[in-house]
Structure 1
Amino acid sequence: MSITQQYFLDAYRARQLGEPAPPAPGVNDWQVVREWRDEREFRAVVAGRPAHGPMRLALGRWLHRRQRSTC
């Protein structure tokens, strides 16, 4: 049975029981990836390793802005 067939079966059963339908497959995939990346970056910073990627860019922009405003 494929994931799509399982989803339709679960949605049918939920409708028969008057319950809300389950989320469609793949709806929350990007949210899960973002949360996993954030958790990995957080653990790296807590372990004393430098931040990389979007976190490092955001920190750099914030620090640069603070230095410019104090001049």
Structure 2
Amino acid sequence: MSVTQQYLLDTYRARQHGDPLPPAPGTHDLRAARELRDYRRFRAVLAGHPARGRIREALVRGLRARAHPSG
């Protein structure tokens, strides 16, 4: 069963019982992504790493190592 089919079934059942309708699929995706980002930043700070720019810094280090190979 797809997400859309499950949503339609849940909506039908909610209307039959007079319950509030469930949120549509994808309604809270942006909020969940923001919460995940905030959680990862929080964990980085607890581990003693910078909260922002970690990926960019890793890419810069990799490019520098490639441009100046040791040995």
Judge same fold: TM > 0.5, yes or no. Answer: yes
Say yes or no: does 1:19 pair with 2:19.
Answer: yes
Between the aligned residues of both structures, percent identity stands at: 66
Whichever structure has more helix as a proportion of its residues is 1
After superposition, where does 1:14-53 map in structure 2 within 5 Å? Answer: 14-53=14-53
Matching residue of 2:56: none
Secondary structure of the corresponding residue to residue 51 of structure 1: coil
In structure 2, list runs of 5 or more residues that go unmatched.
54-71
Q: CA deviation at 1:12?
A: 0.5
Q: CA deviation at 1:44?
A: 0.3
Q: How many residues align structurally?
A: 53
Say yes or no: does 1:9 pair with 2:21.
Answer: no
TM-score, length-scaled by structure 1: 0.71
Aligned partners of 1:38 and 1:32: how far apart in 2? 10
Query: Greater Rg, structure 1 or structure 2?
Result: 2
